Amino acid sequence: MKVLDVIAHILKKEGVEYLSAYPTTALIESTAEVGIKPIICRQERVGVGIADGYARVTNGNSPGVFAMQNGPGAENAFAGVATAYSDAVPILLLPLGHPRERDGVFPQFSSVRSFSDITKFVEQISTASQVGETMRRAFARLKMGRPGPVMVEIPSDIADTEVDASILENYRPVKATLSKADSGAVQFAARALLNAKSPIIYAGQGVLYADASEELVELAELLQVPVMTTLAGKSAFPEKHPLALGSGSSVMNGCVYHFLRQADVVFGIGTSFTKHSMTTTIPSGKVFIHATNDPIDIDKDYYTDYPIIGDAKLVLQQFIEACKDLQNPSTDQGNSNVVGEIAAVRKACLKEWTPKLTSDEVPITPYRVIWEFMNNVDPGEAIVTHDSGSPRDQLMPFYQSGGPRTYLGWGKSHGLGTGLGLNIGAKLAAPDKFVVNFMGDAAFGMTGLDFETAARNSIPILTIVLNNSTMAIETTHMARSHELYGTRDIGGNYADMALAMGGWAERVDDPADVGPAILRARKATEDGQAALLEFITSEETAFSYRRPFS
């Protein structure tokens, strides 16, 4: 067998169903032969995004894989890999490499060297006989510990080399392993949580990857503790639950703001507690319980009073048992008033924003689009993601997800246009869901041609473009240049472009038609068409509680 054929069979053994790719790489042919469907994208960054979205929705249980050619293919994939690395997404990257005799010779691009800072593990297949060992190490890194991109570079002179078939016969799928936390550490932390006056649970995407939402709900209900999630962890806790506060990033709703500000103990579970422009800065004076599966997160940006290392699901189970053991049923009733307080704060916040959410103004406010979407789509039947910039910050505080992985939040590395690839990958992973991405016109300009990838491959996603014909978020940053040269203005008829690329599309400028248009678009996706709705929107720059803490 050839090396590429061995790799294809190993991918099949490991449960890979799709290979997103952009030629030239002969791995496309090898994987197709073993029944792995190739999804050929229009550019590499989106191809990485397809693998990324697929891995997020499957929780990494079925790997997202992207393959590309050496040189320009690997170079062009860099931004997508950076996003997956910053958001800790388990994807496998399989670039071709230059022939070994030219490896590292200037100006040849070396994936091994260049991607080492944005991958969890990167290795080159240095000899053909090592292909099985190298792939085993790659899948071991992919399945265990903190998630992240893993890369195996395949030198072009090795790719077609013949190897003994016994390499494949001896390959066994890698088994993942998980670890509990130190029981004594959990006992101390559980006591602090029980003794807190105003505790809050701060849940990250580690809860999603650990499939630990049920345990998170059980602990929250046991203690009557409110729960917020990070941007990446949004949907880890059911957002219509009476104890749900919603999500926090650089923006947040009034519930997150209120309860995080007054909390005395913050229990972080499955989160890195990273300080970043896209994360919530937690006010000072809190006691921190921090449970993570990666020691690098502990004491990184906040002093950790109670450090816990372990898998989120197992750790939550330990906390549940510890709290039950420590609780005095006759006196420890938790905060019996917290559900009513959450409801009151949410009601006040919604009242404040109702004029924008229901506005009849023309051009349409983006908040009206979000409101109509929320009122016409069951969140349990959908998977929703945003793009970077204003669509993310307008959508995330208000949209209530419908359960684990019904919302894909991302943003620590946040290139415009990322949401489209995630959307395509999510639909491949969950074909029965109504899969929707919200993006601005600037984001569509970055990656919009890959809407044709969805149309060509019969992947019936919905893309919602909020088109205000300008970069509204840059109003204050580009005031003088715009006055002199119109630097913020951009334009286009994106519905026409979608039609030209083989999809279903409508352009909507009447607020009264927003809801009906969403239903028509959903019907188009149910009929198997990739759909695009272009809403002509206002230059909205108001956001909910934008980074109020320091």
Question: Is the pLDDT confidence value at 333 over 80?
Answer: no
Q: What is the mean pLDDT of residues 459-472?
A: 95
Domain ranges for the chain, please list them.
3-169, 183-341, 358-536
Q: What is the pLDDT of residues 275-308, one digit of tens each?
A: 998 899 999 999 999 999 999 999 999 999 999 9
Least confident of 55-64, 271-280, 322-331, 428-437: 322-331
> pLDDT above 90 covers what percent of the chain?
89
- CATH code of 358-536, in short, is 3.40.50.970
Q: Which of 265, 231, 219, 227 minimizes the C-alpha distance to 243?
A: 227
Return the half-sphere exposure (C-beta side, CA atoms, 13 A cut-off) of residue 202: 32
Question: Is the pLDDT confidence value at 399 over 90?
Answer: yes
Q: What is the mean pLDDT of residues 492-517?
A: 98
Provide the pLDDT for residue 102: 81
Give the span between the Cα atoms of 18 and 40, in whole angstroms: 10
Q: What is the mean pLDDT of residues 472-486?
A: 92
Identical fold for domains 3-169 and 358-536, yes or no, is: yes
Provide the pLDDT for residue 208: 97
Residue 461 in contact with residue 531, Cβ under 8 Å? yes
Give the span between the Cα atoms of 400 and 344, in whole angstroms: 17
Give the span between the Cα atoms of 253 and 544, in whole angstroms: 6
Question: Is the pLDDT confidence value at 91 over 60?
Answer: yes
Q: What are the tokens at 137? A: 């190490």
Confidence of residue 332 (pLDDT cuts 50, 70, 90): low
- Is 183-341 in CATH node 3.30.460.10? no
Question: Is the pLDDT confidence value at 534 over 80?
Answer: yes
Provide the pLDDT for residue 107: 86
Structural fold of domain 3-169:
Rossmann fold (3.40.50)
Q: What region does 224 belong to: left with phi over 0, alpha with psi -120 to 50, or beta?
A: left
Give the span between the Cα atoms of 56 and 72, in whole angstroms: 26
Question: Is the pLDDT confidence value at 550 over 60?
Answer: no
Q: Which residues contact 539 (CB under 8 A, 6 or more apart)?
A: 468, 470, 472, 475
Q: What is the pLDDT of residues 25-70, one digit of tens each?
A: 999 999 999 999 999 999 999 999 999 999 999 998 888 999 999 9
Question: Is the pLDDT confidence value at 463 over 60?
Answer: yes
Provide the pLDDT for residue 414: 77
Supply the mean pLDDT for the chain: 95
Provide the pLDDT for residue 549: 59
Residue type, 186: V
